[in-house]
Amino acid sequence: MSTLVIRGGRAWDGLADASIETNIAIDGDRIEACGTDLGGGRSLDISGCTVIPGLIEGHAHLCFDATPAWRATFDSDTPGRMLLRMAANSRRMLEAGITTVRDLGAPTPPSIELRDAIATGLLEGPRLLVSGAPITTTGGHCWFMGGECDGELGIRKAVRERVKAGVDWIKVMATGGNMTPRTNTFAPQFTGGELRACIEEAHRLRRRVTAHAHGIEGIRVAVEAGVDGIEHCSFTTPEGYDHDSGLIQRVADAGILVSPTVSIGYRRWPDDGRREQRAAILRDQLARGSRMLMSTDCGIPGVPHEALAQAMDVFAEATAISPVEMLRLATSRSASLLGLKDLGVIVPGAFADLLVVAGDPTAALADLERVRYVIRSGRVVYANPE
C-alpha cells in the first residue's frame, strides 16, 4: 500500500495551542511524518480544512436508540437485531468523526461481538472499549441488561464473569438512575464493602472500575471504596445539585477519572437555575484538577450517538474553556486517561485515526460538524467533500 499524504490544509496535533499549516504522511495504519516538505504518494487535498485527531466518546450506550421509546425498543430486540442496531449506531458515530468509543452499558455478548468484529475488520466502526452489562443490585439501575448481583461474593463472581467474557472495563452502578423506575438516584446501591470487593477483584484481574454515581452519598461511598472512575459525578439532590467542594477535591486528590456525561440534552433543560448549578460544579471540578475526559451518555433519550461535537460546544459554553482545551478533552486527554496508547494525537508513530473538517475547530468548535473526511487506521472510511 502506497503512502497517503494529506496536503494543502492545516493540522492540530491534539496538544498544541493552535493549528498550523502542514502535511501529514500516512503509511499503513500509522502516521509516518508531519511537515511541509513530504515525499510522493497518493494525495488527499484538504485545502480550506483542518485535520485533527479522531474524537473520543467516553460514555456511550450503543444498544439504546436515543428516543423516548428506548425501553420498548430494547425489550423487543432479538439478540441479532440488537447487534445490528449497535453496529448501525457505531457507524453513525464513525461518520461524525468519533473514532474511539467507550461503551458503558449493553448486554455483554453483543458488546464483545461488535468490538471484536470491528477490530478484525469484519465491519467498519470506531475502536471500542466495552464494559458489557453493568454490575447492579437486584432490581437496581439497568438491571434489564443482565447484570444483577448482591453481596460481596456475588459481586466478585460478576467481575470474574465479565473478565472471562473479555470486557475492557468494569462498570458498577453505585447509585440508582433516572432511566430505571423504583431505583434511588440519590442513595448508594451497594455498601462500601461490596464496592471494595468489586474493585479488589477487578484490580486483581487487571481491569479498572468505573462507577455510575449521581447523588452525593453514592459518590462518597465510591471514592472511599477506591474506584478508578466516576460516571456523571453530578452531585444531584431532589432539589437540584449540591455543590460539595470538599468532595470534589477528594475526587481530584484521589486521581479518579471524572466522566461528566455533558450532552446536547442540557440545552433543553428549563431555565430554572439547574443548568448554572451544574455548570458551576463542572467549573469547580476543572479548577481543582479533576482528571476529566469528554463523555455524553449518548443513546439515552434526546442524545443521539453522533452528537459529540454539539455536546462539546455545550461543555465549553458552561465552563468558559477555550476551543483548544475542549478539543484536548475529547482527544489527547481522553486517550491518556483511558490508557489508549498512540491515539488522540497526530505525531509520527501514532495511529492514523483522523478527522478532517472544513474551517478550523481550534478557533470555532462549530466547525467540528462540517465533516469532510474520516480516516480510521489509515483508511478513508467516510468522505463528504464539497
Query: What digits encode the pLDDT tens for the residues 192-239?
Result: 999 999 999 999 999 999 999 999 999 999 999 999 999 999 999 988
pLDDT value of position 27: 95
Residue that is written with C-alpha cell 462507577 in the block: 211
| Count of other CB atoms within 10 angstroms of residue 278 | 21
| Grid cell for residue 385 | 467533500
pLDDT value of position 129: 98
Cα torsion angle, 155, 156, 162, 165, sign:
negative
Residue 76: pLDDT over 60: yes
pLDDT in tens, 112-138: 999 999 999 999 999 999 999 999 999
What is the C-alpha separation between 208 and 227, in angstroms, rounded? Answer: 8
Residue 383: pLDDT over 90: yes
pLDDT value of position 39: 74
Residue 142: pLDDT over 90: yes
pLDDT value of position 19: 97
Residue 337: pLDDT over 80: yes
pLDDT value of position 267: 87
Q: Which of 337, 353, 374 marks a domain boundary?
A: 337
Query: Which residue has better confidence, 103 or 273?
Result: 103
Give the confidence band of 320 by pLDDT, cuts at 50, 70, 90: very high
Residue 10: pLDDT over 80: yes
For residues 177 and 49, state if they share a domain: no
For residues 241 and 375, state if they share a domain: no
For residues 261 and 289, state if they share a domain: yes
Residue 1: pLDDT over 70: no
The pLDDT of 363-373, averaged and rounded, is 98
For residues 180 and 324, state if they share a domain: yes
Q: Is 286 in contact with 260 (CB distance < 8 Å)?
A: no
pLDDT value of position 385: 81
For residues 295 and 265, state if they share a domain: yes
Considering the entire predicted model, what is its pTM?
Answer: 0.97
For residues 175 and 62, state if they share a domain: yes
The pLDDT of 12-27, averaged and rounded, is 97
What is the C-alpha separation between 200 and 154, in angstroms, rounded? Answer: 13
Residue 294: pLDDT over 80: yes
Give the ranges where the chain is alpha helix by DSSP (H). 70-76, 79-95, 108-119, 151-165, 192-204, 216-225, 245-253, 274-287, 308-319, 323-329, 332-337
For residues 142 and 223, state if they share a domain: yes
- What is the 8-class DSSP label of residue 321? -
Give the confidence band of 322 by pLDDT, cuts at 50, 70, 90: very high
pLDDT value of position 386: 74
Q: Which of 322, 337, 352 marks a domain boundary?
A: 337
What H or E segment, with its residue span, contains residue 54? Answer: none
% of the chain exceeding 70 in pLDDT: 100
Secondary structure (3-state) at 193? helix
For residues 223 and 367, state if they share a domain: no
C-alpha torsion 58→61→66→72, nearest 10: -160
pLDDT mean across residues, the chain: 96
pLDDT in tens, 80-103: 999 999 999 999 999 999 999 999
For residues 329 and 367, state if they share a domain: no
What is the C-alpha separation between 54 and 327, in angstroms, rounded? Answer: 10
For residues 250 and 205, state if they share a domain: yes
CATH of the domain at 87: 3.20.20.140
For residues 317 and 331, state if they share a domain: yes
Provide the residue range defining the domain that includes 251: 55-337
Residue that is written with C-alpha cell 461511598 in the block: 221
What is the C-alpha separation between 61 and 263, in angstroms, rounded? Answer: 13
What is the C-alpha separation between 8 and 233, in angstroms, rounded? Answer: 43
- In which region does residue 41 sit, left (phi positive, over 0), alpha (psi from -120 to 50) or beta (all else)? left
For residues 161 and 249, state if they share a domain: yes
For 67-117, give the DSSP string. Answer: STTHHHHHHH--HHHHHHHHHHHHHHHHHTTEEEEEE--S-HHHHHHHHHH
User: Number of folded domains in the chain?
Assistant: 2
pLDDT value of position 109: 98
| Grid cell for residue 203 | 484490580
Residue 24: pLDDT over 90: yes
Residue that is written with C-alpha cell 468490538 in the block: 115
